[in-house]
Amino acid sequence: MKIEDKEFKLYIDRDKISSRIGEIAQAINEHYKDKNPLFVAIMNGSFMFASDLMKKVDVRSEITFIKVTSYEATQSTGNIKELIGLQENIFKRNLIIVEDIVDTGNTLNHLISEFKELGPQSIEVATLLFKPDVLKHELAIKYVGFEIPNKFVVGYGLDYDGYGRNQEDIYQLVN
């Protein structure tokens, strides 16, 4: 598949994605059965994952969205720009940060530090994709869909310069 000037090949198909999200939702349902968690979805990339995850979570819960960015083209800039911030009171709440992908961990590290100052009862992370080889921070990621190598991926919410988010499968950049 071609997106703009890059070629991508199928990497994780929609059935595997759906199945794994079901497993993550079941774990969340068991752990948060009486806790009323607040899901904090990081836009734009997590929108498909957050939507499908919430359809399978059956515990009493809420969801909110924040927007931060650190990417340009295929590289993380390392600079976190918060574009739309958290509006909800998270004091004594159980937070589950919903991410599309964790690679360096810069964004999560920044957000967790900010959220901790607001006094939540707990903060956990649910990410569809995790690149452990490039992680720069010690982060406890409780719910991981797939561990992947340090290759650029698009689809299922992830983009290349804004394109490719609408694909139902995940594609990997062809070198």
**Three-class SS state of 64:** strand
d(CA 158, CA 48): 9
Tell me, what amino acid is at 133? Answer: D
- DSSP designation for 155: B
Residue 111 backbone dihedrals phi, psi, to 5 degrees: -65, -45
Alpha-helical (H) ranges within 32-126 are 47-56, 106-116
d(CA 139, CA 95): 15
Q: Using alpha carbons, list the distances in angstroms from residue 68 to 41, 100, 133.
A: 10, 12, 22
Q: Is 13 a catalytic residue?
A: no
Query: Of 52, 100, 103, 159, which one is the catalytic site residue?
Result: 103
Say if residues 68 and 98 touch (Cβ distance below 8 Å).
Answer: no
Catalytic residues: 103
